[in-house]
Structure 1
Amino acid sequence: MSGVSGAERGPLSPRSALALLCALLVVDFADRQVVVAAFPYLRTEFGASATQLGALVSVVSVVVALGALPVALLVDRWSRVRAIAVMATVWSGATAACAVAPGYLALLAARMGIGVGQAGFGPAASALLGATFPAERRATVLAVFQMGAPLGIVAGGVGGSLAAAQWGWRWAFLAVAVPGLVLALLALRLRDYRSVPEPSRGRAAVAGLLRARSGLGAMVGGALLLVVFSTLYTWLPTQLERAYGLPPARAGVLASTVVLAGAAGTVLAGAVADRLTRRSVRWRLLVPTATATLTSATLGPAFVAVPPGPVQLVLILLGGTMATTAIGPAVAVVLDVVAPAVRATAVAIFALVQNLVGLAVGPVLTGALTDRWGLTAALGLVACLGLVAGVAFGWGSLSYPRDRERGPVLLPRPRTRRPRAAGGRSAAPRGRRGGR
């Protein structure tokens, strides 16, 4: 039977582990986002179009999505702690390589290297946290961890904008690369957990998620909402530059307040979902149902109907607060419906969908729509996806209580051959000690 059978001793307490993993996620997304601060300079130096600039953001998510599952399968068999340290080293080195890229294609290749390093980090970290903290606190803990994503977006956007304005865009990449190398060493002090071997981890994780309609709803809804959020953190600085006549550095700082609001919304939604789940477990998905709908209700009018000004900025701020609220509850649902031994693999499947359908699609889709109809129209169109995400979450909530009660899918273990006795006959199985 699958499950966590023990834990390796380590010097870091659960709260310290949560803080360190959250800090690594901050660096993860700072390394992704810093390229947005370089957009104005890349347009001038490399002559990049809006679609090409969006591709520099999306390519990281595509590589993360494609690599998440095979890396997570290896992580579940090897060591989550050592894998995290290696991955942080790789993606930080690739970020530093961006600083010396001689042209657009070289920069695109270095950005792919960031994705190679980051593939599997989210699943490995989520599996560690899922085993460290009790199930009734899972949405809150994972929301605190996922808060590192918007914080990293702010760090990469604001820090990158200030560094690029002061020293040039290449130094912006170097500024965010160094912290990852330091945290990679500290990650070796995390406490791993041992899990009972599960035959065919991939099959068990896929079977659990496909059987659980709530898991599918969480994955689809979360991905659609991330299309909206990735569009915001990629293109909002450019929109503020054009609509309000702001210089790139000031636009980046103003856009960062929207992303910071998303960080607050992430933690708040996780805590609210956990509290309401005590009354009815359906609230773990009903909370993101409501917030996804509110995302479209605020951002859609902000870009389509409201002219630039204080009202528009308030609506964008509210929409940014809502756009990340599904992250904690959605991951918690995925962990609830699969066996403990395949949690990293299950979260990798979740991450594949979130990155490939969510984070990868938003920037390049909005860039393509911008080249055709303009940035304001593109932002308004993408904002409507929050309504579809709300429908997916609501659909999944209907079966979540049943999916949670019936437990994870456990695949049968392959039969082992009995040893042959003399004369070619199978030997009788020996009795087990302890009456078992």
Structure 2
Amino acid sequence: MTYAWRDRAVRALGGPDQARVVAVLGAVLAMDGADKGALSVAAPGIKTAFGVNNTDIGLLVSVVSLTAAVCTVPVGLLTDRVRRVHLLAISTTLWVVATGMSALAPSYLWLLVSRAALGAVTATAGPTVSSLTGDFFPAHKRARMLGFILGGEMIGTGLGFAASSLVAESLGWRFSFWWLVVPGALVVWAVTRLPEPARAEQSMLQAQPDPDARTRNGQTSDSESSGAGDEGSGDGLAGQAAERAGVQPVAHLVLHEDPRKKPRWWAIRYVLRVRTNLVLITASALGYFYFTGLRSFATVFVTEHYGVSTSIAGSLVLVVGAGALVGVFVGGRVADRLLSNGWITARILVPVVGLVGVPLLVAPALHTSALLAALPLFMAGAVLLGAVNPPLDAARLDIIHPYMWGTAEGVRTFLRTLGEAAAPTVFGFVSVAVFGGGGTGLEYTLMVFLVALLASAALGLTALRTYPRDVATVNASAKEISAGSRSASRSSPSD
């Protein structure tokens, strides 16, 4: 039975090669999630050991994001110009070292500095994982595959809460970091064994037929028969839908030559001029602002508000995280299915619906003191929250030419991590200074900042208008660059 399920999972991912890529990239994100979960669990012990408060705990999370914000744009530019697998291997190695240093911290300042070093993996993971995903998987499957990869972050966060809760309660808060070193070293080894895919192509993975592929009039769908080379032209499902709808590109944003030949500052300005990209960056920053604040104080809130032990709180967070994991897997699949049926804006619409629904479920769950009543509401809210990111991440790949994926993701991660950096400190400060601290202070803080998710949804609605044109612009750019390359080849003198 176990082998049967494993074989089905491998086939669903497109074969053993693609399954390995999903597992490794998901594990990289899992490391980051596990660390953040571990810090949340270790927070009560750190407060006791060093005599700090919620604001200081929030700063431990914020400093990681601040470091990442400083590094992420240069790393994004580098991602478009060097071997991404090597870049990712170096950053994961730094992560393992910094995690060990966190466990050794003799003072709060030492812990703060070692946490800052963890920003390296956050800075590198976003651009490299996004760029590698775009080149490893075809456009018509990207939202679904991103769902599986982002599921790694959810699994890592859940394991960070659950395992670290048990370890911290038995051995102390330092061991909630120590146990992460061994799996971290295994992830480094796995990353070094990944192949480097060719850019803007369906590269070197031998994919099996997509089990969810549909046929129309006895023929395979366009996206299934387009082949590897079409990925470089931008003709994924979104691009094909834009062409069928007669959507016109944004003329002044159409690229006529390889953008990697342009100056780095030109590339940064360009990705910020793509209207949908700017909207989605802002919406993403607002969403991560809330999620980071919630994650940072989840264990403290559950123990103080519901009166349970740290280990039970970790287990409850793991249960809720399972809901988020379901949402991650389902969100990408639903968006891709709607897109294949002609809903050109499906990768925007699905996240908007999720962002509107989360506050309606989470607010009453935060308010009630009855754990059994709150748990199903938290789980349902987690499903909707998890469903947001895979379609949005796929949409960002749709609206940027493949040669600029690293740069675009670097810029996005920079602006997003500013929100992440602020969230824990702001949440901690508001809970203490405005609402008086304790479980009640966190309750009201977590409820008030739900407005960030509603603001993110409102921004998503504006992207419904701009997304089709930006997709059409990528298609037009790909054709112009391809035509220019063929013209250059014909005009060059033969040997």
Report the TM-score when normalising by structure 1. 0.88
Match of 1:297 in 2: 360
8 Å Cα contact 2:277/2:399 also seen in 1 = yes
Q: Distance in 1 between matches of 2:103 and 2:491?
A: 65
Aligned amino acid, residue 213 of structure 1: R
Which of 60, 67, 70 is the aligned partner of 1:66? 70
Match of 1:427 in 2: none
Q: Distance in 2 between matches of 1:232 and 1:81?
A: 32
Alignment of 1:210-221 (within 5 A): 210-221=272-283
| Alpha-carbon displacement from aligned partner over 1:314-340 (angstroms, at most 9, x marks no partner) | 222222222232211222122112221
8 Å Cα contact 2:75/2:127 also seen in 1 = no
Which of 369, 377, 396 is the aligned partner of 1:315? 377
Match of 2:50 in 1: 46
Q: Distance in 1 between matches of 2:344 and 2:266?
A: 24
Aligned amino acid, residue 81 of structure 1: V
Match of 1:336 in 2: 398
Which of 2, 20, 24 is the aligned partner of 1:20? 24
Give how far 1:58 is off. 2.0
Residues 1:36 and 2:96 are matched in the alignment:
no
| Alpha-carbon displacement from aligned partner over 1:92-127 (angstroms, at most 9, x marks no partner) | 110011111011010010000111243212211111
Match of 1:369 in 2: 430
Task: Rate the CA distance shift 1:144–1:204 in 2: closer, same or farther, 3 A.
Answer: farther
Q: Distance in 1 between matches of 2:142 and 2:262?
A: 26
Alignment of 1:203-214 (within 5 A): 203=265, 205-214=267-276
8 Å Cα contact 1:32/1:60 also seen in 2 = no
Aligned amino acid, residue 350 of structure 2: V
8 Å Cα contact 1:73/1:201 also seen in 2 = no
Q: Distance in 2 between matches of 1:290 and 1:214?
A: 18
8 Å Cα contact 1:303/1:312 also seen in 2 = yes
Which of 128, 131, 138 is the aligned partner of 2:135? 131
Which of 86, 98, 103 is the aligned partner of 2:107? 103
Q: Superposition RMSD on alpha carbons, in Å?
A: 2.4
Q: Distance in 2 between matches of 1:143 and 1:431?
A: 44
Q: Distance in 1 between matches of 2:389 and 2:414?
A: 14
Residues 1:388 and 2:448 are matched in the alignment:
no
State which drifts further: 193-202 or 276-285: 193-202
Give how far 1:275 is off. 0.9
Match of 2:348 in 1: 285
Aligned amino acid, residue 296 of structure 1: P
Residues 1:350 and 2:412 are matched in the alignment:
yes
Residues 1:155 and 2:217 are matched in the alignment:
no
8 Å Cα contact 2:271/2:408 also seen in 1 = yes
Q: Secondary structure at the match of 1:341?
A: helix
Match of 2:188 in 1: 184
Q: How many residues align?
A: 407
Aligned amino acid, residue 55 of structure 1: L
Q: Secondary structure at the match of 2:154?
A: helix
State which drifts further: 371-380 or 325-334: 325-334
Match of 1:146 in 2: 150
Give how far 1:15 is off. 2.2
Where do 4+ consecutive residues of structure 1 move more than 6 Å? 408-413
State which drifts further: 220-229 or 391-400: 220-229
Match of 1:432 in 2: 492
Q: Distance in 1 between matches of 2:327 and 2:116?
A: 30
Give how far 1:393 is off. 0.9
Give how far 1:135 is off. 0.8
Q: Secondary structure at the match of 1:361?
A: helix
Match of 2:235 in 1: none
Alignment of 1:231-250 (within 5 A): 231-250=293-312
Task: Rate the CA distance shift 1:318–1:204 in 2: closer, same or farther, 3 A.
Answer: farther
Q: Distance in 1 between matches of 2:371 and 2:187?
A: 41
8 Å Cα contact 1:65/1:355 also seen in 2 = yes
Task: Rate the CA distance shift 1:409–1:353 in 2: closer, same or farther, 3 A.
Answer: farther
Q: Distance in 1 between matches of 2:329 and 2:190?
A: 25
8 Å Cα contact 1:81/1:191 also seen in 2 = yes
| Alpha-carbon displacement from aligned partner over 1:360-407 (angstroms, at most 9, x marks no partner) | 233222111111211111011112221111101111111111110121
8 Å Cα contact 1:208/1:408 also seen in 2 = no
Aligned amino acid, residue 285 of structure 1: I
State which drifts further: 189-198 or 337-346: 189-198
**Residue identity (%):** 30
8 Å Cα contact 1:291/1:323 also seen in 2 = yes
Q: Secondary structure at the match of 1:398?
A: helix
Match of 1:404 in 2: 471
Q: Distance in 2 between matches of 1:339 and 1:313?
A: 42
State which drifts further: 203-212 or 215-224: 203-212
Aligned amino acid, residue 221 of structure 1: A
Q: Which ranges of structure 2 fall in alignment gaps of 5 or more residues?
A: 1-15, 200-257, 436-440, 482-489
Match of 1:166 in 2: 170
Give how far 1:208 is off. 4.4
8 Å Cα contact 1:204/1:342 also seen in 2 = no
Q: Secondary structure at the match of 2:290?
A: helix
| Alpha-carbon displacement from aligned partner over 1:136-176 (angstroms, at most 9, x marks no partner) | 11111112111111211111111111111111111221101
Q: Secondary structure at the match of 2:179?
A: helix
Match of 1:223 in 2: 285
Aligned amino acid, residue 97 of structure 2: G
Give how far 1:410 is off. 6.2
| Alpha-carbon displacement from aligned partner over 1:346-369 (angstroms, at most 9, x marks no partner) | 111122222222x32332221111
Residues 1:257 and 2:332 are matched in the alignment:
no
| Alpha-carbon displacement from aligned partner over 1:258-281 (angstroms, at most 9, x marks no partner) | 222112111211111111112211
Q: Secondary structure at the match of 1:252?
A: helix
Q: Secondary structure at the match of 1:332?
A: helix
Match of 2:12 in 1: none
Q: Distance in 2 between matches of 1:153 and 1:169?
A: 17
Give how far 1:200 is off. 3.3
Give how far 1:302 is off. 2.5
Q: Secondary structure at the match of 1:38?
A: helix
State which drifts further: 388-397 or 28-37: 28-37
Give how far 1:202 is off. 3.9
Match of 1:9 in 2: none
